[in-house]
């Protein structure tokens, strides 16, 4: 969430950021409306304060006048007190409406863009920052992952369709084993080599948690909502571990020396994919349920950019360890996500598609999320004024998409798949996946 005072003081600046994001006209009008509401709020606060002061000043005099027999003067004061009280009541009622509308509008505003974000209208204008490795040399036509895995008897989407419908999958044998191996490899590496603390979290969260990280209200259509309240509140299946992990520090006041907080978490993720009709209907690319290992870093304002680069490097290290060709791209202004101020996407090469596809997004949020969650730190000890933390997260990695990348990049002419060396210890020494008997 943006600071209401900042938006009201410079609505044109905020509007410029929205225009860079290719926002629609309704969103572009929000900053000016917030400024208008803020000005009206100031007037109403002054009216209410003046009314209360009048009431407090005159009320004690009424009783004294009544005792002295000055009924006419007392009645006149009563009328003034009533007028003041009515003005206070009217002002308070209008203030309640203004606060509600202003809060709703602030929740609808995306984050401001970082100065380094390149200009562009959409994903085709994202800027490549670097790339690593090279596509594997193949003297045969590579298969797409779903065809390859089905031929091996390891992927069955007809079975999943019978029990859950489209955009689910059943993995068998060594493919299921590799999914589990990837989860363990990612978490082990991040905790051992990159300094993250592992956590396990609930897979169901309240609306307030989803609002805290910016999934709601903007993306409610993409979320799976429980049909009944949970402990009295609306609840949702998590779309990413970012939501429960970042909210672990909701409402906390930390010391700068205790930051950064670096957490890694494996969870299943659940997304309705409401806006992706017709996209990636085959295979494992875009599923309603998928596994992901998420990295979250909570830090100070001064260190946020360096921490963002570090987290991105940790995600890149996973792809390098697996020997997968990838590129890192800086998302342009029209493609940066709602809550992020800057974002890198890691895109892995898929020979079966002859294309790079996203496998991790590493986002810097500034204080956008922590302002919603009231997550703060003291920069200079107990007596210093608290500041909002800065948050960062990224996939380290999306497990299903990594499985896709391994299948397509390590496939052989005979239809088998070589197991990357770093995974063999997690798979009992298995070095090649062959057709399931």
| Residue 35: C-alpha distances to residues 5, 19, 20, 29, 368 (Å) | 8, 18, 20, 10, 19
- CA dihedral sign of residues 436, 140, 146, 292: positive
DSSP structure class, residue 128: E
**Residue 292 · residue 383 · CB < 8 Å:** no
3-state secondary structure at position 403: helix
CA angle, 192 then 350 then 322, to 5°? 20
Determine which one of 21, 271, 342, 357 is catalytic.
271
What is the DSSP track for 371-399?
HHHT-EEETTSTTSPPEE-EEEEEEEEEH
**139: exposed, middle or buried (Cβ count in 10 Å: 0-12, 13-18, 19+):** exposed
H or E stretch including 20? helix 11-20
How far apart, in Å, are the Cα atoms of 414 and each of 86, 139, 403?
85, 12, 19
Asked if 271 is an active-site residue, the reply is yes
Q: Which tokens hold the place of 415?
A: 């239809």
Q: Is position 401 annotated as part of the catalytic site?
A: yes
Task: Determine the Cα–Cα distance for residues 73 and 80; give it in Å rounded to an integer.
Answer: 11
User: Any catalytic annotation for residue 342?
Assistant: no
As beta bridge partners, residue 230 has 233
Active site residue: 361, 363, 370, 395, which one?
361
Residue 437 buriedness (CB in 10 A; 0-12 / 13-18 / 19+): exposed
**Cβ–Cβ contacts within 10 Å for residue 308, how many?**
27
What is the sign, positive or negative, of the torsion defined by CA atoms of 382, 384, 387, 389?
negative
Does residue 272 have an active-site annotation? no
The one catalytic residue among 180, 358, 387, 416:
358
Q: What's the distance, Cα to Cα, between the start and end of the chain in Å?
A: 54
CB 76 within 8 A of CB 66: no
Q: Which of 102, 177, 342, 401 is catalytic?
A: 401
- Catalytic entry in 286, 378, 387, 424: 286
Catalytically active residues, by annotation:
271, 286, 358, 361, 401
């Amino acid at each position: 969430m943006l600071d209401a005072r900042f938006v009201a003081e410079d609505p044109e600046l905020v509007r410029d950021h929205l225009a860079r994001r290719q926002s629609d006209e309704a969103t572009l009008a929000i900053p000016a409306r917030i400024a208008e509401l803020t000005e009206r709020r100031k007037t109403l606060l002054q009216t209410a304060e003046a009314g209360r002061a009048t009431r407090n000043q005159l009320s004690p005099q009424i009783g004294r006048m009544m005792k002295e027999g000055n009924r006419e003067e007392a009645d006149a004061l009563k009328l003034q007190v009533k007028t003041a009280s009515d003005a206070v009541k009217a002002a308070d009622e209008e203030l309640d409406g203004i606060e509600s509308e202003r809060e709703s509008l602030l929740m609808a505003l995306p984050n401001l863009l970082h100065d380094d974000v390149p200009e562009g209208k959409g994903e085709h204008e994202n800027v490549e920052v670097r790339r690593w490795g090279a596509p594997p040399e193949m003297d045969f036509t590579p298969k797409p992952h779903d065809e390859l895995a089905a031929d091996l008897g390891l992927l069955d989407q007809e079975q999943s369709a019978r029990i859950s419908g489209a955009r689910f999958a059943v993995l068998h044998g060594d493919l299921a084993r590799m999914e589990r191996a990837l989860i363990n490899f990612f978490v082990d590496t991040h905790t051992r080599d990159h300094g993250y603390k592992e956590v396990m979290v609930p897979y169901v969260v309240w609306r307030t948690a989803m609002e805290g990280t910016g999934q709601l209200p903007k993306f409610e259509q993409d979320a799976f909502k429980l049909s009944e309240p949970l402990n009295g509140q609306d609840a949702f299946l998590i779309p990413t571990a970012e939501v429960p992990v970042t909210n672990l520090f909701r409402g906390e006041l930390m010391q700068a020396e205790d930051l950064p907080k670096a957490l890694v978490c494996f969870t299943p993720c659940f997304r309705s994919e409401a806006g992706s009709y017709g996209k990636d209907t085959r295979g494992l690319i875009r599923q309603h349920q998928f596994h992901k290992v998420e990295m979250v870093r909570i830090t100070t304002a001064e260190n946020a950019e360096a921490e963002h680069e570090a987290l991105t490097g940790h995600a890149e290290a996973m792809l390098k360890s697996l020997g997968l060709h990838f590129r890192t791209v800086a998302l342009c202004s029209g493609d940066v996500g709602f809550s992020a101020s800057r974002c890198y996407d890691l895109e892995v090469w898929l020979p079966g598609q002859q294309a790079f596809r996203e496998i991790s997004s590493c986002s810097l949020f500034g204080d956008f999320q922590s302002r919603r969650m009231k997550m703060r730190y003291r920069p200079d000890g107990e007596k210093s004024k608290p500041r909002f933390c800065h948050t960062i997260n990224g996939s380290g990695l999306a497990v299903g998409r990594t499985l896709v990348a391994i299948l397509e990049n390590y496939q052989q002419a005979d239809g088998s798949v070589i197991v990357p060396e770093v995974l063999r210890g997690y798979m009992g020494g298995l070095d090649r996946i062959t057709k399931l008997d």
